[in-house]
Structure 1
Amino acid sequence: MTQDPSRLTLYGSFTSSSSYKPMLYLALSRLPFSFRTVNLKNGVQKQPEYLAINRYGQVPTLRHNGLTIVQSNIILDYLARTTGHFAGETEQDKWTAREWLSWEADNITNVAKVRHYSRFRKVDDAVMDYFRPLALAAVTLVDKALENKDWLVGNTLTIADIGCWGRMVFMAEGGLDITTWPNVYAWSKRLKDQPGFALPYDLIPSKDKEFDPCA
């Protein structure tokens, strides 16, 4: 059966924080989409069939209306532009939200590295001694940015929140206690109260699946 090119199709992995970010966006937006699992443990991401759509051999990948979009934050930007959800209320908010996504890729990614080296791959202690302070500094900056604010940008939930939370959700797996940062902790509870919200292991399937929340 041929896939409808107008249907959003996301390729991702069960354990991937990068996959969780666009999955969470789609869940919060209540948009129908198809999920295609890429088994990282079995090396599917490096096989020719997948490399044909994602040259980097990474997840996630989004296919929509004949386009192929890769890199999680680019996918978030694309989804916000094309579906109209969580883009930001003003023009300044829209650019500030994208700015947060760029910053996240350089900084909160250290949270993902600490989690990865804690759970999936043992590394020399010196490696963790390098990345852990960077992860702590990134979360501390987010905590400060949320002081007296509900959301990172403007007065509404945006892709900035989704992109940053999508990595930070795995803090505990890296030995980082979210309650250490009271503003981040309160923000996480606001996110969890949003209709459609789900945590990664509840949201991302281990097999291909069709999501039709409005059906």
Structure 2
Amino acid sequence: MPARRGAGWRLDPGSCGAAPSRAACAAGRKAMVNTADAGDPERLVLFGSFTSSSSYKPMLFLALSGLPFSFRTVNLKNGVQKSPDYLAVNRYGQVPALRHRGLTVVQSNVILDYLARATGCFEEAAEQARWTAREWLSWESDAITNVAKVRHYSRFRAVDPAVMSYFRPLAEAALGFVDTALADGRDWLVDGDAPSIADIGCWGRMVFMAEGGLEIARWPHLQRWAARLQALPGFALPYDLIPKKDTEFAGR
């Protein structure tokens, strides 16, 4: 697969030239379309779980990009993430993890960063916009993650009400922040013309909000932004998108 090019945003030493454009996504997809063999080092291999918002983020990126990839399910309920075999992939014992071209990349937002650089998909053309997209991802990991905590404590692990009383306002504040950012009429978080990894990452972390009793209708700008994401070709919600068994995706 050819390197995505741009000052400071290259995978291969010595590459140079204009910053990646959205046309690079089509070129990256074309370059990868024949990597049908799961053993091919050019094949993207994603490890994850269908209940994990962290897994959903790179899964949604790949689905929206139409890239071919392999999915390897990690059963969190059965503790597979702590097994020696999986710890050899991800030393943190967490999902997701990505393998590609001899590399192993872990942590969902780092994977989004890698995928954008490697494929050109959902990468901003302007340097400031690229940094802004990653700024959103860094903020998301600190703020919107509270939405995931509220959902986790509501569905998977009962906690003292005082714990929920602490995290719920933080989750609501994060959702309110995104809602306010979108209140100026922009379609997307960074670039008004098209979504970026910022949109995928922020949406992916909050996708299970209703399972934590956080109804999206409370934030109308956020709700309209989510509707725009859901209208994109290839979009699906986690339980429809992430398989419960190992699966090969041919791409489009």
Shorter-chain TM range is over 0.9
Q: Which amino acid aligns with 1:200?
A: P
What residue is the counterpart of 1:187 in the other structure? 225
Q: Which amino acid aligns with 2:164?
A: M
Q: Secondary structure at the match of 1:196?
A: coil
Q: Secondary structure at the match of 1:103?
A: helix
What residue is the counterpart of 1:61 in the other structure? 97
> Equivalences for 1:1-215 in 2 at 5 Å?
3-147=39-183, 148-155=185-192, 156-214=194-252
List gaps (5 residues or longer) in structure 1: none
Structure with higher RCO (Cα < 8 A, 6+ apart):
1
**Counterparts of 1:51 and 1:177, CA distance in 2:** 36
RMSD: 0.9
**Counterparts of 1:129 and 1:109, CA distance in 2:** 15
Q: Secondary structure at the match of 1:69?
A: strand
**Counterparts of 1:139 and 1:88, CA distance in 2:** 24
Q: Which has the larger radius of gyration?
A: 2
Q: Which amino acid aligns with 1:182?
A: P
Q: Which amino acid aligns with 2:61?
A: Y
Q: What are the Cα deviations for residues 78-135 of structure 1, in whole angstroms up to 9, with x where unaligned? A: 0000000111131111000000000000000000000000001100000000000000
Q: Secondary structure at the match of 2:223?
A: helix
Percent of aligned pairs sharing the same letter = 73
Q: Secondary structure at the match of 2:234?
A: coil
Q: Secondary structure at the match of 1:55?
A: coil
**Counterparts of 1:170 and 1:52, CA distance in 2:** 29
Q: Which consecutive aligned stretches of 4+ in structure 1 deviate over 3 angstroms post-superposition?
A: none
- Contact 2:69–2:251 (CA<8 Å) still a contact in 1? no
Normalising by structure 1, what TM-score? 0.98
Once the 2 structures are TM-superposed, how far is the Cα of residue 19 of structure 1 from its aligned partner? Answer: 0.1
- Contact 1:69–1:75 (CA<8 Å) still a contact in 2? yes
**Counterparts of 1:213 and 1:63, CA distance in 2:** 17
Q: Secondary structure at the match of 1:210?
A: strand
**Counterparts of 1:193 and 1:89, CA distance in 2:** 23
Q: Which amino acid aligns with 2:95?
A: V
**Counterparts of 1:181 and 1:141, CA distance in 2:** 10
What residue is the counterpart of 2:3 in the other structure? none
Q: Secondary structure at the match of 1:11?
A: strand
Q: How many residues align?
A: 214
Q: Which amino acid aligns with 1:54?
A: N
**Counterparts of 2:147 and 2:93, CA distance in 1:** 21
- Contact 2:144–2:202 (CA<8 Å) still a contact in 1? yes
Q: What are the Cα deviations for residues 25-45 of structure 1, in whole angstroms up to 9, with x where unaligned? A: 000000000000000000000
